[in-house]
Structure 1
């Protein structure tokens, strides 16, 4: 499926037409009972479910996380399952258990001593990755399993049939990685100034792969690039941590009265109805906790319903503030919260929680009303997303100041990561296969949200002109958007910017906001809490808008062609009222009998078949002139030439000339140099300083994908023509988008029209064979 989907299949590749506007029928999967041709889930749509009950123990001294989980897996598919596939994402940090997706490497021009060491062959175990202590059924009976790098297959004692569920347990532990040095999404950050840690526990527990109607098991290895395909379920999680830590996580805290001080609990209650963020854990309390380093422990309990994942964070450094945001469409009061160390106080205290509230409100307007009770932004010097919680950056200088770039970058990453609650945490696409369905769609709505935060916000992804440098790259450095995550070189532009830009072009330039917004919201509603695929998105956008967009998906998503449309030439002409219109005439000969070039085998055999009597032989009244003419029974001279002479057109009257005397015609010749078709957006500037604009749909290229012409008539003189004046189409070469020098006008003749009544199929004025023979029958 991957190789077929990534190809821009064309039926007529050698032609200058019939390719760009070809339908995607040869590329998209065939609709079925699970996924319809409209892009909606079918009446037999199904998906699996996995519930988790987890206990975790964070050992800060040993930098180790220990866990025990009970998983209940529900088989809602029509299939009988012999085994289950489990993701062991933490194995990517292991030197011996990772996915083994190597990258090319070269000698460095310079490097640090910490990065330099002798190559170990074979690789030695660095001590990271999941250590499986026990895998059993609900009764404690050991289960057979096999670990394949970042995936584990559990063989079931018996087949799991439709409608059944299977409960099993996994005990495990792993050493927590320093993510600031080793990279990755989860781990710890150490603060040497105060000797404390900030833990981000992500992809931290063994979790189910997705089993779906379109792919079966999604058990592609986790390489660190392509993110996740995950199954919805309910979570109950207990986290045992040092007593002076503050925890935030997916879901709702169930025992705040036990883990917060009375003062903190009172502030939490106050925050429920606040109009400004309220500090639950204050800056002073966080600074005191940094120094206390309690040896006691506390257990925090969180629960989350209908989520696809669970993440949490823990540190004694955290300040915590909160305020509610009510989502009007579903009247859902969402607690918007931020947790951050003192190093980020100057920025996060002012902006983070308000940016969270703005994001869930704006995304709700463009997609679906936010359904969860919590949305959180955690400052952890990175950017990553999970249900109801995300990790971002935004620290000030030590003196509390910050640059505009840091501020805007922080706002952008908060909006982006909080926005991921919608794509893909709720509209649950397969990130490991199609990064753009997660990152691209989210980046697009991030752009809409940034624009509504501040009209001067310097958005870097979304406006068409910002993708031009990427589109200019040689094609051997590009891949189609419809490519597997692991195989993309320019990952940011390909998975984030180009799809976001494409959607913005659809919204602003091709479809218009009203049609686009309705279709986009329809997609979100159809696939909320489900597993959409690319075809479901493409089909829904067309189904809900009435726009045939296959040409756009084909060009923008399946090809690497750029937009480069040029104004090649402008031809100018003015009216000529004094030309003499001669009567047109042409010569012709009468038609010969309408016989086939040769007698085909069916005609011969029909004549030889004595059982057949032809109708015209039975009813001789049907034997007219042409029946005889075809048999050589009528003599007609087919060599004689006849002449048709039409009437000359009349010259215009003085009054009519006055009406048209100031008209000038402009034929504009365009060429498609880049290969990607787009609308032609034109700005005409006249000698008197006035302007007019026109937009011609992309369909003008349907009969010739390389060159087209468009003619305009104006009653005042043109000074210049600008193509794509607002840079809406991501044209990579704007130097050929302007015309300001016009050639000497030619003349076009203007005469009165002669009205002729013509029956369909008639050839007025021509002599037919019957007339030539002087016959009427």
Structure 2
């Protein structure tokens, strides 16, 4: 017997699919504006100087060149977990040609069933996603367009799959407009929609009374013009919602009214304007924010009284920081507030002032961890832990996730790169800057649980050592500049974070901290409120550091290419140079040096030298030592320092570089070598194996210490995995 609910659902889905499939094709004139393709990835050509209206100097009337305006009335039904919305979307055509069709993202349809690109990729690639929460009967999500009109005229719609995903994916829809939008003109679309939230999964949804409402409204794609992110002709950029991709949108204005039942606390992007309006047991809150490219919100009747703090810094308005949490995680609120205020200070000082007046932090409640660790403009979700004792792993994780999600407000929010095609510009650069903040605060990662701490055990790991362990250094699979979805595995997508952070760490070590900080400030100043590409970032780094040769080499090897780094000390010896038996010519006469004569001469000379140098160290004597070090290279050409230490305490350092797979260095000195070490400053974290970077002529306990460090780092990776389950 077919379950009646299943039968009805299947019939409705089929009817809906047929209705959309019957929509007529777009007018022929619209074919001149193509969609960015499925292979779109790292851009190699810098954008034109006037791209996106040119750099924002601060003298303009608005922070961004506002392209779109959203006016939305949204009503939450917390029992059905639905959002009923009425939206007026006003979009401006920046191009020099008429636009007959536009594209909307309907992200919630990623969760409507197994036929979406998102669900298909998770299933076919066997990837673990975040906390690996599965959707069950009655827990799916979707978005339905009930009405789309332009000037009162209905708009025809067709689902498309720009990246070649399954025909059942419905996360991108084309709207064929009754009235084309002239160059420089604007049009307004009136859209009625219904969003069914899923049981919290992949950044959005509900659990009980908790609602995290992200990627919930029909959102227009980006029309890129020639000279912007590698475009040579106008093109639409609107990718399907992939399992490992995030988002990309135009800057604009948001005016959103959110209606919820009385007793629910609401937090959202932007500032709440005016007093909430109560009527018939419901309350309407109005949030307004300009110069952002997304909007998210939360509502729950279990939220405690928000914890509020403030930040005031040079160049920024007074920023109100509001932390929302449920009672079981009250102990998470104060650390999250402090980490946010600390982040405001660090990012404002090292990149540029924070331009908005609010930050809202959400601590997800119990059983809603899937909603944690996600960023939206002026609004983000942190993590939540039962215990957050100072100096423990869970406290470090809470702090780091808070810093990381706030940091996205700069790299994802203000710089607004394309997370679909170039995720390293957001996830990777943000990860790097977050870890730099922790280093500046002299913070390590604690591997200590409350129980271990009670026993007096305090295990720690430097933050960039952790990044190195997760960077897939031995066999990297994809260039850092690869797009989010066309990767070998979910683990390879993870290298967007750790391998980018490790690469930037090594670049900083080579060019120097002042040069790198100067370059990042230039990148931010030039590209804030625009949409930079990887080529634009490379150009800013080359100019800002003053080391274009180094920057271009690193980008060629790791961003556009995927070359492992693997240097090692292959052989190391230091032998005393003694006279050898045989025939020699002395004063024009041939003389034979016998073994017996040489042995006596060596013995006599040693005795005399020892008498004259009673405090000499082992390895010092009357005869020189010939030291030889053979260095092998089986990866990318990365200049390294080789340091050799001798028994008398002296050292010799040389540079090892070039594409030749080996190089031998020799010294003849009156002291025996003790050790040889590549990268003595620990500057090159991309090296696949740091254990083979050094050798000693005598047993050395430091090897055991390095092995212990590796094991500790692996333990941290395991702990992180366990915490996320």
Structure 1 stretch 675-684 or stretch 518-527: which is displaced more? Answer: 675-684
Change beyond 3 A, Cα 1:105–1:402: farther
Report how far residue 106 of structure 1 moved.
10
Change beyond 3 A, Cα 1:304–1:5: closer
Change beyond 3 A, Cα 1:403–1:665: closer
Change beyond 3 A, Cα 1:169–1:35: closer
Change beyond 3 A, Cα 1:82–1:2: closer
Report the equivalent of 2:213.
201
Q: Is the 8 A contact 1:428 1:530 kept in 2?
A: yes
Match of 1:327 among 309, 313, 321: 313
Output one character per residue of 1:73-124: Cα deviation in whole Å (capped at 9) or x when no partner. 012233432211111001111117733634456999xxxxx9799xxxxxx9
Q: Is the 8 A contact 1:96 1:125 kept in 2?
A: no
C-alpha distance in 2 between matches for 1:462 and 1:456: 6
Report the equivalent of 2:692.
736
C-alpha distance in 1 between matches for 2:668 and 2:250: 60
Output one character per residue of 1:153-175: Cα deviation in whole Å (capped at 9) or x when no partner. 11123332322111111110122
2:506 partner SS = helix
Report how far residue 474 of structure 1 moved.
4.4
Q: Is the 8 A contact 1:225 1:485 kept in 2?
A: yes
Report the equivalent of 2:483.
484
1:164 and 2:164 correspond: no
C-alpha distance in 1 between matches for 2:105 and 2:135: 32
Report how far residue 241 of structure 1 moved.
0.5
1:147 and 2:159 correspond: yes
Report how far residue 40 of structure 1 moved.
8.0
Change beyond 3 A, Cα 1:201–1:308: same
Report how far residue 177 of structure 1 moved.
1.3
Output one character per residue of 1:666-718: Cα deviation in whole Å (capped at 9) or x when no partner. 45332112x12223233433314x3647473xxx533x341234456767543
Structure 1 stretch 91-100 or stretch 410-419: which is displaced more? Answer: 91-100
Match of 2:639 among 676, 679, 690: 679
Report the equivalent of 2:265.
246
1:388 and 2:378 correspond: yes
Report the equivalent of 1:356.
340
2:515 partner SS = helix
Report how far residue 532 of structure 1 moved.
0.7
Report the equivalent of 1:237.
256
Aligned positions of 1:49-60 closer than 5 A? 49-60=67-78
2:94 partner SS = coil
1:670 and 2:631 correspond: yes
User: TM-score normalised to the size of structure 1?
Assistant: 0.67
2:431 partner SS = helix
Report the equivalent of 2:534.
534
C-alpha distance in 2 between matches for 1:536 and 1:131: 38
1:29 and 2:28 correspond: no
2:154 partner SS = coil
2:565 partner SS = coil
Match of 1:559 among 558, 561, 566: 561
Report how far residue 3 of structure 1 moved.
8.9
Change beyond 3 A, Cα 1:298–1:691: farther
Q: Is the 8 A contact 2:316 2:356 kept in 1?
A: no
Report the equivalent of 2:495.
494
Report how far residue 185 of structure 1 moved.
1.2
1:135 and 2:148 correspond: yes
Output one character per residue of 1:18-68: Cα deviation in whole Å (capped at 9) or x when no partner. xxxxxxxxx8237656569xx9899xxx97711111110001122211001
Match of 1:431 among 419, 441, 449: 419
Report how far residue 539 of structure 1 moved.
1.4
C-alpha distance in 1 between matches for 2:125 and 2:179: 50
Output one character per residue of 1:193-228: Cα deviation in whole Å (capped at 9) or x when no partner. xxxx11111001111111113352112111242000
Q: Is the 8 A contact 1:47 1:77 kept in 2?
A: no
C-alpha distance in 1 between matches for 2:320 and 2:437: 19
Report how far residue 360 of structure 1 moved.
1.6
1:668 partner SS = strand
1:443 partner SS = helix
C-alpha distance in 1 between matches for 2:56 and 2:276: 43
C-alpha distance in 2 between matches for 1:225 and 1:106: 11
Output one character per residue of 1:565-616: Cα deviation in whole Å (capped at 9) or x when no partner. 1123347699999x9999xxxxxxxxxxxxxxxxxxxxxxxxxxxxxxxxxx
Report the equivalent of 2:438.
450
Change beyond 3 A, Cα 1:434–1:241: same
1:671 partner SS = strand
C-alpha distance in 2 between matches for 1:5 and 1:677: 28
1:172 partner SS = strand
Report how far residue 558 of structure 1 moved.
3.1
Report the equivalent of 2:512.
512
Output one character per residue of 1:307-341: Cα deviation in whole Å (capped at 9) or x when no partner. 0101111112123111111122x142211221111
Change beyond 3 A, Cα 1:691–1:432: farther
Match of 1:91 among 105, 109, 112: 109
Change beyond 3 A, Cα 1:449–1:574: same
